[in-house]
Structure 1
Amino acid sequence: MNKIPRRIVTGIQSGKSVIIEDQPVANAVEHFPGLIISDVWNTQQTPAGLDFETPIPNTGFPQTPKNGTYFRYVVVPPDKDLGIEWKKNEPHPMMHQTPTLDYIIILSGELYLIMEEGETLLKPGDIVIQRGTNHAWSNRSNKPCIQLAVLIDASAQG
């Protein structure tokens, strides 16, 4: 499994900032073959508290706390490695929706963002602002795609 580093620089000792953690995450989970997710950090409220961490269970589909956030590291394997079949003109089997505003950055590899109508190819450096809509991810390449995502609890308008 991937070694996902996590460094927390929020400690104070003798009035100076210090690194209080520098080690791989402890909650990287392989939910499907090759699909690795780690919820690296979360907040339980807004404004966020800076003095503690509330560990959370790592889930395939996020359960962002009310008024909170998730900071998520995701490795999306090639579709063929996931063993998921998707027939054209049918909803993607991994289509999902969360009540969150998501900031997503593609770090490596490539990935298709699939909507109910249309799709777009994402490459390293691309940014997605996902606003609580149905969507799915499809990796049609031969290499894993790594993305970072910040999920923020949101409410629908209108």
Structure 2
Amino acid sequence: MRTIPRLIVTGIRAGKSFIEADALVDNVSEHYPNLVISDIWQTSQMPAKFEKEHPIENTAIPQVIKNGTYFRYVQIPPDRELGIETAIGTPHPLMHQTASLDYIVILSGEIYLITDTEETLLQAGDIVIQRGTNHAWSNRSDQMCLQLAILIDAN
């Protein structure tokens, strides 16, 4: 699977559907070595408009627009490549929280979802509904993990 995803965007012109864009995503960053984040698309209201939104500012922790959505593709390398070591009983150094309801799909590889009180191993095909909780991702394998996340503004 490629690191940078290809994005195809459709549209309507003169009442007919067409392919408006077909290219590799260009909004890509590495906030840590080999931790590749591709911020794909965002909306800024509900219901969403079909018009193209403003470019997304690519940040390590996404900032979902009020009443909006955020679409993100992430390649997470093994913890050892990031230099992450966690001692038993200490919080994961990448623990974070977003003010959003997140739909996350593991596309390939495996990764641990860590919360304040427990953790679970996720594998390709697993889905997480992350409801604004404090969490971290820990890749303890020797392979990259690819995940797709859709974040929705929430209270």
Cross-structure match for 1:33: 33
| 1:110-131 deviation per Cα after TM superposition (whole angstroms, max 9, x unaligned) | 0000011110000010000000
Give, in whole Å, the separation in 2 of the partners of 1:99 and 1:13.
36
**TM-score between both structures, scaled by the size of structure 1:** 0.94
TM-score in terms of structure 2 length:
0.96
Match of 1:136 in 2: 136
State how many pairs are aligned: 154
Q: Determine whether 1:115 maps to 2:115.
A: yes
Residue segments in structure 1 that go unaligned for 5+ positions in a row? none
Consecutive aligned runs of 4 or more in structure 1 exceeding 6 Å deviation: none
Aligned residue number for residue 84 of structure 1: 84
Q: Choose between structure 1 and 2: higher strand proportion.
A: 2
Identity of aligned residues (%): 60
TM-fit CA distance, 1:2: 2.6
Per-residue displacement from partner, 1:63-87 (whole Å, max 9, x unpaired)? 1111111000000000000112211
How well do the aligned residues superpose, as a CA RMSD in angstroms?
Answer: 1.1
**Rounded Cα–Cα distance in structure 2 between residues aligned with 1:151 and 1:87:** 30
- Per the alignment, residue 66 of structure 1 pairs with 66
SS for the counterpart of 1:80 is helix
Q: How far apart are residue 43 of structure 1 and its match?
A: 0.4
1:7 corresponds in structure 2 to 8
